Amino acid sequence: MNTYLRRGREKLQSVIRAARGFWLMFKRLLREQFNKNIYTRILFTNVTAFVVGLIALSMLSSFVVKQVTSDQVQQELLRKAKRVNFALLQQKDQAWGTPLAEQTSDRAEGRQDLLKFLADIFDARITVFDREGNIMGTSEEQEVVPGSKVEAKFVEILTRGETAITRTVDRETGRLTFIAVVPMGNNKDAIENGILLETKPSNLDLALNKMRLYLVIGGMVILVIIIFVSVYLAMYISRPISRLATTVAEISRGSYVLSGEDQPLDEINVLAGQLNKLAVRLQKIQAESRRMEEERARLFAEISHELRTPLTAVQGFIEAIRDGMVQDEALLERYLDTIYTQTVHITRLVDDILELSRLESGNITVEKLPVDLIALAQGVAMSMEGVARSKNTSILFEAQTEDAVVIGDVDRMEQIIRNLLKNAVTATENGTIRVGVGARQGEVVLTIEDNGIGIPPEDLPHIWDRFYRVKNQRGGRMQEKGSGLGLVIVKKLVQLQGGKIDVVSQLGKGTTFSISFPSYNQK
């Protein structure tokens, strides 16, 4: 016995495990299909919602139909019971106080015929009982055993003198049965007997079955419509999304072809607009990156070129000295001077490159403090007078205003003025350099004017380029001086402090640089 129980338990556990494994596999497959694409998700969601709604509607409809039909049956049964009571009261020759077992055959037959007649008219089973529950008469005498009684709840209803309708389920057929309990007699008479009317509405189940059939047929038709609508809706939504995915793929491959076509959905239009903005931004970033890469390559080439010339000269002179080719002391001294000059030039070039690199990368910070431009420019001009006199050039300072306070970094301001004065001294021999500070429409203007050799018109637009050096014809020979970064650094420093710089030049007549800064007192 225990062996059979153990085997049965093992089989039951194996069946449970198999059912659980099947459910997990089905659940995983269902989740994968649901999350596969927008078609299956919309279709599954709509079909599930419709099926759940149809089941809920069917249950609600069945409940409503049952309630409405039951109320109608109860009202109709109550009216029938009152009419049966009235019909029985009209039969004066019938005395209902004698139980069914004690009645004579003639009287029992008369009661039986009367109750059968009324039962056929009202389509209900009729039973008359007294206050003790004894059955006094019934339309279905063959179904009643002599001495039978009705249920105690009907006697209790009769004792209270109430009219009530109850519902029971037939144990044999399972059909719903309505039973009406009414007191027999008039309101003026003492209540001695009661009347039971039993009916089994056959149209209720028929109505429910028809309703369910109509719901199933209508549900199938609507389900087919929902499937078509879901497929169309999924295609309507997924088609622009697929186009956007293609656009994103093109963007990832570097093709920035923007779509100007309006999409059918506002959300898709917003997403397409954002993708177009992203594509434009990526295009600009890529163009800027390409430009910076080209600029970096050009800068490296320019730096290599600028360093190669002095380094080649230094290397040549050093090799000549090391090989003993220079025996003359004067020639050796000249070689050493050239080497020194070239190394100074390389040092200046490296310093300028580092300075420009810091300026372009934003690693240089400037202080924002009030600076008296008159005092600063006059001090720098005085410090450069010695260098100017070596070229028989004079520096004249002129203050055209008393208020020349600006916001800036005094060290960077001095660097700007000193670099421009150096250029002016380099370009001027036996001449005059004028440094002036004036005011103009809320600005303080610093001018550095020389009457030197000037800048050719074709070179003037390029003086702000890196490593660009102006070649001037003087004395029948070309002169080339400087690193080609001084003016670039000057312009960066001016812009860094919120100023503007302009230049005017005529070949053989001189050059004028004008720098303007917002006046401190105008802020």
Please write the tens of the pLDDT for every residue from 178-205: 888 888 877 666 677 888 888 887 666 6
Residue 243 is inside which H or E element, if any? helix 202-252
In 3D space, the residue among 107, 108, 126 whose CA is nearest the CA of residue 118 turns out to be 126
- CA distances 313 to 2, 95, 429, 484, Å, are 110, 152, 28, 19
**Position with higher pLDDT, 162 vs 264:** 162
Token reading at 16: 């449970």
CA 179/CA 99 separation, integer angstroms: 22
CA 321 → CA 310, 318, 326, 328, 329, distances in Å? 17, 5, 6, 11, 11
| Alpha carbons 422 and 482: distance in angstroms, whole number | 10
Distance CA 119, CA 195 (A): 12
Q: What is the DSSP letter of 261?
A: P
| Cα–Cα distance, 401 to 516 (Å, whole number) | 14
| Percent of the chain residues past pLDDT 70, beyond the cut | 80
Residues in the chain: 523
The DSSP code for 96 is -
293: CB partners within 8 A, 6+ apart: none
DSSP class of residue 124? S
- Residue 315 is which amino acid? Q
Please state the rounded mean pLDDT for residues 4-26. Answer: 77
For the structural domain made of 256-364, what CATH number should be given? 1.10.287.130
Q: Which residue has the higher pLDDT, 320 or 207?
A: 320
pLDDT band at 475 (very low <50, low <70, confident <90, very high): very low
The pLDDT score that the predictor gives to residue 477 is 35
- Tokens of residue 475, six digits: 């004395």
DSSP three-state, residue 138:
strand
% pLDDT > 90, the chain? 4
How many whole angstroms separate alpha carbon 128 and alpha carbon 113?
Answer: 14
For residues 467 and 136, the model is more confident at 136
Q: What is the pLDDT of residue 265?
A: 62
User: Are 255 and 276 a contacting pair, CB within 8 Å?
Assistant: no
What local confidence, expressed as pLDDT, does residue 434 receive? 92
The residue ranking higher by pLDDT, 443 or 365, is 443
C-alpha span between 145 and 147 (Å, rounded): 6
Higher pLDDT, 95 or 16: 16
Sheet strands side by side (includes 510-518): 394-399, 432-440, 443-450, 510-518, 500-506
- Mean pLDDT over all residues of the chain? 78
pTM greater than 0.85 (yes/no): no
8 A C-beta contact, residue 520 and residue 498: no
Burial of 420 (0-12, 13-18, 19+ CB in 10 A): buried
pLDDT(39) > 70: no
- Give 514's pLDDT tier (boundaries 50, 70, 90): very high
For residue 195, with 0-12 CB atoms within 10 Å meaning exposed, 13-18 middle and 19 or more buried, which class applies?
buried
Q: Fold for 56-206, please state it.
A: Beta-Lactamase (3.30.450)
Q: How confident is the model at residue 479 (pLDDT cuts 50, 70, 90)?
A: very low
Most confident of 142-146, 345-349, 351-355, 402-406: 402-406
pLDDT of residue 473: 43
User: Which CATH number among 3.90.1300.10, 3.30.365.10, 3.30.565.10, 3.40.50.1220 corresponds to the domain 365-472+481-522?
Assistant: 3.30.565.10
pLDDT at 448: 92
Pair 447, 511: CB distance under 8 Å: no
The encoded tokens of residue 500 equal 């503007």
Q: When comparing pLDDT for 108 and 117, which is higher?
A: 117
Decide which of 164 and 206 is more confident: 164
Distances 496 to 11, 360, 374, 416, 503 between C-alpha atoms, Å = 87, 10, 20, 12, 18
